[in-house]
Amino acid sequence: MNTIEKRLTSESNAAKAFDAQSSVFDSIYSSNSTIQYKRDRVREHIESIIPSQSNILELNAGTGEDAIYFAKKGHHVHATDISEGMQFELKKKAGSAGLQDYISTEICSFTQLEQLQKKDPYDLIFSNFAGLNCTGELTEVLKSLSSLTKPGGTVTLVVMPGFCLWETMFALKGRFKTAFRRLRSKNGVQAHIEGEYFTCWYYSPSFIYESLKGDFELVGIEGLCTIVPPSYLEQFPERFPRLFKWLCKMEDIYKSHRIFRNIGDYFIISLQKKV
């Protein structure tokens, strides 16, 4: 199997994994305080940039948590995902919320955006929580964004970098493979969800900036879960509520510091298309 075939297989497996998880996705993650902190941070970042009644293209939209949020704010969201199960849950939630006029859906991989039916262009193209880490073809994905973005429009991506300070602490427990998995990720790292294995890749803010700088200007970079522990340490907020609150406060202060923005579980990067 050549490299392209491996990557296509990995993408197919990722779709199967999220199909399998789609019906229980919200129940698994909705009560996680750290995930709510992450969502609030990303939404605050976006709302500081985009105009009212924006036209938004969301990649890897999942069950539509963010699409629903932005639609309720008066924005129009075209929510895409490769997973049919996730799209089913999203449509069901949008219907229950009476937001059909504000949310449209399309099954489309972000590696095939040239096949997107609704090309508009958009005020915002948005990918949350490491969806883009599921492709080893990120350069090609990024190349396709310019034609879909309005002049003056924004691209906001939430991506996992190649180093996470919190993960290195697993070395203290002798879990060296977990502690340094991102540092060994040149050819990708295996992820496992609902019995399906697929490959993840890690990317730096500079990689994304260099790929987009021809048509875009950097707006800002923030670290996410740099001081606040990653959401997979799900018991932390309940066991240490005061400490968790303090860590959130510290991260809010230092989120854009050049050191802290590069060592978290994620980073948020926004770029504006040149006029």
pLDDT of residue 137: 94
The pair of structure tokens assigned to 139 is 């350069």
Q: List the one residue out of 21, 8, 2 whose CA is nearest residue 192.
A: 21
pTM for the complete prediction? Answer: 0.95
Helix (H) or strand (E) holding 103: strand 103-107
Query: What tokens does 184 get?
Result: 């060994």
Are 228 and 42 within 8 A, CB to CB? Answer: no
Q: What is the pLDDT of residues 166-207, one digit of tens each?
A: 999 999 989 898 899 898 777 889 998 988 999 999 999 999
Asked if 256 contacts 222 with a C-beta cutoff of 8 angstroms, the reply is yes
Any idea which architecture 3-273 has in CATH? 3-Layer(aba) Sandwich (3.40)
Walk along the chain (275 residues) in steps of 10 and give the mean pLDDT of each run. Answer: 60 88 87 96 98 98 98 99 97 98 97 96 98 95 98 99 95 90 84 90 97 98 98 96 98 96 97 98
At 5 the pLDDT is 57
Residues pairing with 270 in the sheet = 156, 220
Query: Which of 165, 161, 164 lies closest to 204 in space, CA to CA?
Result: 161
Report which secondary-structure segment, H or E, holds 14.
helix 3-21
